[in-house]
Chains A and B, each alone.
Chain A
Amino acid sequence: MLSVDLLSVSYGAIRAVREVSLRVEEGEIVALLGPNGAGKTSLISAVIGLVPVASGKVMLGDVDITRKKPEDIVRLGVTMTPEGRHIFGDLTVDENLRLGAAVRKDKAGVKKDLDELLAMFPILQERYNSRAQTLSGGEQQQLAIVRAMMSRPKLLMLDEPSLGLAPQLVEQIFQLISTLRDRGVTLLVVEQNAHEALLFADRAYVLSTGQIRFEGAAGELAGSEDLMAHYLGIGAETGAPDAADAAKV
């Protein structure tokens, strides 16, 4: 579905992403892991056209989206929820959700999707006319993901969905991500919380200082303490997911 070929992103003299290639097949959950400053956010921002591509190629199916504008890329079925949730706090839950459908013209379909998603997330239904900033952290993250769903994406890119959430909420968010996959959405999930992400992902890429250091099945990475320690700096003693979460929080 998505194939990124030798993509580079530069901010002035700084090369944030260096000739990265990756693929996301239809129906997959792919985790993009790596430490702070590895270039994960730059990479997905470049895919959706928010930051300029220095060189390389981004294909969505057979369509070259390399230098397209974000609104055109969203229209083609790619959506991203930015890091730190980025819900619009001054707007209501309702307005946030309608924003998700910014590029859609089919009013009836938008209404139908809205009703369906609200039925799945009763908390959002309950807080429908509240300002988004009054929601709790977990609710805001749900809102951000549901909002992204409103554009009816084929490919959804999530930037650090578990950031700043309590461990039990992290679990809940990843469960939600699996549900989305069951609904036919392909997901590219950027995470620092490697353990939790690998439980749900099919495949994983590890990015560090702008380059791909590892790619393979999620199970292979999660099952190997060596690999985890080597690429993600996670020691054997924090192998259990709970402990990793605790350390993170």
Chain B
Amino acid sequence: MNLTLKIWRQKNAKDKGGLVDYKVNDVSPDMSFLEMLDVLNEDLINKDEEPVAFDHDCREGICGMCSLYINGEAHGPDRGVTTCQLHMRMFKDGDTIYIEPFRAAAFPVIKDLIVDRTSFDRIQHAGGFISVNTSGNTIDANAIPINKHDADTAFDAATCIGCGACVASCKNSSAMLFVSAKVSQFALLPQGKIEATDRVLNMVKQMDDEGFGNCTNTGACEVECPKGISLENIARMNREYLKASLKG
């Protein structure tokens, strides 16, 4: 199939940027979206034009490095996938596709479609851990039985890949789904309860300091999350936050 791409080009963080039109021909429906961009880039380099910069690495939907806002949706029109898992069979011959970076004040553009998501890392530095040193002499792993339902729910929250689709999809650029996934994982496990108060207060404070917006419960984040992270996590974090604030 043949496609028209309207791609956001921006030289660097200071540049204003804008959409540029490109044509790609003979796209196979079995190609992934990023493989289609590879073909475009190969073509651009051969024509002495500058290739389009985009983030990607594992290309199997788990590293969270790829982003892209495609036709107004984070990771494009398919559900439950990252951009690297999006296949061209989701599009039709003759389509025009808009490709933009994830946009948020806390995700400044580095170049073209690449944004800086280190604000996510800094939120994790503030409390996304259990304080246990490496000794090998902690108690035996089976000494703390954990209810399977709780363990499975903690796991579901822990599958967040930190891509930022939730922020890009939110009209307020809120990072609540991302932060609540980590808070929930630890809130559901006995190991995480000891530092629960500090964790939620510190992570939320850092989230606010980074300039992410407030949550108004639109639920767009859950819809666009490639890993199906549930809104229940936000409710759980709100409970944790209330508990912590009352204690504090």
Q: Do A and B come from one complex?
A: no
Interface residues of B (CB under 8 A from A): none
